[in-house]
């Protein structure tokens, strides 16, 4: 359906925006390495089914490979910045202070409690859903502490939030046309959207009222 | 139940 396609495309757009900008400008200003590392973990644990070779469609398989590849490439580019622009890298690391163990640990426990089947594949899949829902927190934490967001960060988070928002009408659509209600995805998806709404609210206020950028 | 295990979303 249209919501699903548009959602996936904005997800793809968010990563392309990030990749292209970092590649072109060699700037990682305002980007959280921790959030990016969490996304690599999210994609690798979610798309483990690629290894079973029970592929659903060309679209599905290709997108999964692109998401894994692009997220790893982002990390590579950030690491390249380490040698190229040591000062900017150090500055980024000094501000990227969120403790990700407080996200990974609880997500692992939630995956053990909420899953469809107690198998490695299903546990990893559930873990990836929980982790994705909170993976942006180090990034938002960084923004709230610096009090300002660059164009790159803003566009990136905007595209990511759009992807999340579009998945909601997609689920409603699928519920009515296919009778499908996948509770884990819906719940973690709503949780993730709620986190983004905070960003959107502040962004809206900043754009409309021209006030300084701040997150509660 | 089996349909839910398909995980066809990204």
Helices (H), A114-148: 120-134, 137-146
Could you list the pLDDT tens digit for every one of the 216 residues in chain A? 999 999 999 999 999 999 998 888 887 888 899 999 999 999 999 999 999 988 889 999 999 999 999 999 999 999 988 888 888 888 888 999 999 999 999 999 999 999 999 999 999 999 999 999 999 999 988 887 776 777 788 889 889 999 999 999 999 999 999 999 999 999 999 999 999 888 787 777 766 666 555 555
Could you tell me the two tokens for A14? Answer: 């968010």
pLDDT tens profile A114-132: 999 999 999 999 999 999 9
What is the predicted ipTM?
0.85
> Using the beta-carbon criterion (under 8 Å), do A4 and B9 form an inter-chain contact?
yes
Handedness of CA A113, A117, A119, A123 (dihedral sign): negative
CB count within 10 Å of CB A57 equals 9
CB contact under 8 A, A185 and B9: yes
With CA atoms as reference, report the closest residue to B10 among A109, A195, A5, A70.
A5
Q: CA A214, CA A178: separation in Å to the nearest integer?
A: 42
Instruction: Confirm if A179 and A15 have CB atoms less than 8 A apart.
Output: no
User: Nearest 5°: phi and psi at B9?
Assistant: -95, 160
B2 touches chain A (CB under 8 A): no
Q: Which residue of B has its CA nearest to A182?
A: B4
Contacts of A56 in chain B (CB under 8 A): 6, 8
With beta carbons under 8 A apart, name residues in chain B contacting A67: 10
Q: Predicted confidence band at B1 (pLDDT cuts at 50, 70, 90)?
A: low
Cα angle for residues A201, A206, A207 (degrees, 5° grid): 100
In tens, the pLDDT along A64-100 reads: 999 999 999 999 999 988 888 888 888 888 999 999 9
Cα–Cα distance, A67 to B10 (Å, whole number): 9
Q: Which residue of A has its CA nearest to B9?
A: A60
């Amino acid at each position: 359906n249209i919501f699903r396609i548009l959602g996936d495309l904005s997800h793809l757009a968010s990563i392309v925006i990030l990749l292209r900008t970092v590649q072109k400008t060699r700037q990682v200003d305002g980007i959280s390495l921790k959030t990016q590392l969490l996304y690599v973990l999210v994609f690798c644990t979610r798309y483990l089914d690629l290894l079973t070779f029970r592929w659903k469609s060309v679209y599905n398989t290709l997108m999964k490979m692109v998401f894994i590849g692009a997220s790893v490439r982002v990390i590579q580019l950030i690491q390249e910045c380490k040698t190229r622009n040591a000062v900017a890298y150090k500055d980024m690391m000094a501000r990227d202070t969120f403790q990700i163990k407080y996200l990974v640990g609880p997500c692992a426990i939630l995956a053990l409690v909420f899953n469809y089947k107690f198998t490695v594949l299903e546990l990893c899949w559930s873990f990836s859903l929980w982790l994705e829902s909170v993976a942006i927190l180090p990034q938002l934490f960084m923004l709230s502490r610096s009090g300002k967001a660059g164009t790159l960060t803003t566009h990136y988070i905007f595209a990511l939030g759009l992807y999340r928002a579009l998945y909601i009408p997609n689920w409603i659509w699928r519920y009515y046309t296919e009778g499908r209600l996948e509770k884990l995805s819906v719940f973690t998806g709503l949780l993730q959207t709620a986190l983004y709404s905070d960003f959107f609210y502040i962004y809206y206020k900043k754009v409309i009222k021209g006030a300084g950028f701040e997150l509660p | 139940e089996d349909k839910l295990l398909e995980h066809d979303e990204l």
